[in-house]
Amino acid sequence: MTAPPLSDVPSRRSRVWAWGLWDWGSSGFQHIALTFVFSVYLTDSVGADLPGDVPANSWLAWSTAAAGVLIAVLAPVIGRSADRAGRRLRATGGWTALVVLSMAAMFFVRDDWSYLWLGLLLLGAASIFAELSYVSYYALMAQVSTPSTVGRVSGFGWAMGYVGGIVLLLGVYLAFLSGDGGLLGVPTGDGLDVRISVLVAAGWFAVFAVPMFVLLPETPPVAPGAPRLGVAGAYRALVRDLRALYRSSPHTVWFLGASALYRDGLNAIFAFGGVLAVTVYGLAPGQVLVFGVAINVVSALGAFVGGRLDDRIGPKAVVLGSLVGLVAVGTVLLFVSGPTAFWVFGLVLGVFVGPAQASSRSYLLRMCPAGQEGQMFGLYATTGRAVSFLAPALIGLFTYLFGSDRAGMAGIVLVLLAGVVALSGVRSPALARSHSAR
């Protein structure tokens, strides 16, 4: 028995909204813990007086790299296990609960260098749990979409994540972080304002995740009654499945490789965009947060509109068009200067980022064999991690060779361009879908 492919029966709108609310809630981890608040608190406050020659930034980078290695190793096997046992929904719930608990525990990380290790451990663990939750969550898209709606559903979810992050980030900034303890006048000593912000973000994720677990049905098992495999057996089975997939649908494997390239370029835009905004275009550090909110709004709109186009012209056209747009705008940014130019072209860049991200996951869902969605999204996570060094390495290389932060931007453009070339040879999902055994 195999799990059913994407159903032609329209999903209830309430289930689509419940699925999208999980994305809205997960922004609590992405925006507050990982990107803008807690990670900055660890390096700038908790680890500011760290003894020794190794700065807190280096420890954060190493712990992040270690978490990435574990994600790459675990994701495909865990996704495969959830497929076979028919427990994608339960798997998503379990990993979500672990993310929420890890974030709640961050409240106990005080502003003292001796708490740095606890903070790094909790942030690394939460990153692993979050990535593993995305594997089964993305696979659940097959539960709430049809072949004719998968693009708009993916775009809707991605837009919900952007907007949820904006609302939460602005809320905690105004309530706790702006000025001296925000509008609520929270004491700032011992990092209490930041610690409360992370606690609120944990509750935010927990609350908005609940509707999905109430309204969505669990997936049926791919192989009911199959014996449990050990770790070694699971990896041997994974290799067999990949060989079979390459024989039956090689373009699915090629897509995983191509998407790994351009997703590394997309990640670099977010990782280095704020730094480049300050060092190259002269934005004040406080303006970066405002720009971050603005580009999230634009990216959300782009993801929503791109999802509609996805269902009309196919995800390949949407992703390729978005990548070409990113390469063109990125090239222009190499030559313009000043805050105004950055605002104009930076926001145009955001228009293309959302569709590229949202349509990538609908692309894979349309291509992967029935019953293997969790495994394929596990490999999606793994391949993304496998080349995640490429764009940062090129940024560092060009910055060093030319003695200019601006030159480093060429590294991002080249990785995106490589993604365009690699994706051009991949069969469109509509053809690949009919070719694969469903």
- Final residue in a domain of this structure, among 220, 253, 284: 220
- pLDDT exceeds cutoff 70 at 371: yes
Whether residues 374 and 244 fall in one domain: yes
Q: How many domains does the chain have?
A: 2
Q: Are residues 208 and 283 in the same domain?
A: no
CB 90 within 8 A of CB 218: yes
Which has the closest alpha carbon to 127: 65, 177, 81? 65
- pLDDT averaged over the chain? 86
Q: Is residue 437 over pLDDT 80?
A: no
Is 225 domain-assigned? Answer: no
Give domain status of residue 255, yes or no.
yes
Confidence at residue 79, expressed as pLDDT on a 0 to 100 scale: 77
306 CB contacts (<8 Å, ≥6 apart)?
151, 155, 318, 322, 354, 355, 356, 358, 359
Give residue-wise pLDDT tens across range 114-125. 999 999 999 999
Q: Are 419 and 392 contained in the same domain?
A: yes
Give the rounded distance of the alpha carbon of 233 from its chain centre: 29
* 208 or 7, which is more confident: 208
Name the domain boundary from 192, 220, 248.
220
Task: State pLDDT tens for residues 81-105.
Answer: 776 666 889 999 999 999 999 999 9
- Please tell me whether residues 316 and 399 are part of one structural domain: yes
Which pLDDT band, with edges at 50, 70 and 90, does 434 fall under? very low
Give residue 3's pLDDT. Answer: 37
If asked whether residues 243 and 338 sit together in one domain, one would say yes
What DSSP string describes 300-324? Answer: HHHHHHHHHHHHHH-HHHHHHHHHH
Residue 368: pLDDT band with limits 50, 70, 90 = confident
Place of tokens 């929904």: 89
Residue ending a domain, among 167, 193, 220, is 220
Greater confidence, 290 or 8? 290
Query: What is the model's pTM?
Result: 0.83
Whether residues 348 and 385 share a domain: the answer is yes
Task: With respect to residue 213, please indicate whether it lies within any of the assigned structural domains.
Answer: yes
Least-confidence region, from 66-70, 148-152, 154-158:
66-70
Residue 173 covered by a domain: yes
| pLDDT at residue 5 greater than cutoff 60 | no
In a shared domain, residues 59 and 119? yes
Give me the pLDDT at residue 82, please. Answer: 72
Residue 229 lies in a domain: no
- Residue 180 included in any domain: yes
pLDDT at 254: 92
Residues 264 and 369 in one domain: yes
pLDDT at site 111: 95
Are 170 and 252 in the same domain? no
Q: What is the pLDDT of residue 223?
A: 57
Q: Which residue has the tokens 């927990």?
A: 206
Q: How far is CA 21 from CA 37, 40, 261, 296, 358, in A?
A: 22, 27, 29, 17, 15
pLDDT over 90, % of the chain: 48
pLDDT above 70: percentage of residues in the chain: 90
The model's pLDDT over 390-399, given as tens digits with 9 standing for 90+, comes to 888 888 888 8
Instruction: Give the length of the chain.
Output: 438
The pLDDT tens digits of the residues spanning 197-236 come to 999 999 999 999 999 999 998 877 765 555 565 556 667 7
164-193 pLDDT per residue, tens: 998 998 999 899 988 888 999 999 999 999
Residue 274 is assigned to a structural domain of this protein: yes
Pair (168, 256) in one structural domain: no
Residue type, 302: G
- Using one digit for the tens of pLDDT, what is the confidence trace for 256-293? 999 999 998 898 887 677 768 877 888 876 677 788 78
| Residue 58, in any domain of the structure | yes
Unique residue bearing structure tokens 């406050």: 45
φ, ψ dihedrals at 388, nearest 5°: -70, -10
> Any idea what the CATH number is for the domain that residue 419 is in?
1.20.1250.20
Residue-range definition of the domain harbouring residue 354: 238-438
CA separation, residue 266 to residues 47, 340, 345, 358, 412 (Å): 29, 22, 16, 12, 8
Q: Is the same domain home to 95 and 158?
A: yes
Is the pLDDT confidence value at 331 over 80? yes
215 and 263 part of one domain: no
Cα(139)–Cα(135) distance, integer angstroms: 6
How confident is the model over 378-430, as pLDDT tens digits?
Answer: 888 888 877 777 888 888 888 888 888 888 889 899 999 999 999 999 988 75
Terminal C-alpha separation, the chain: 12
> Distance between CA 295 and CA 285 in Å, rounded?
16
The beta strand positions in 65-178, using DSSP E, are: none
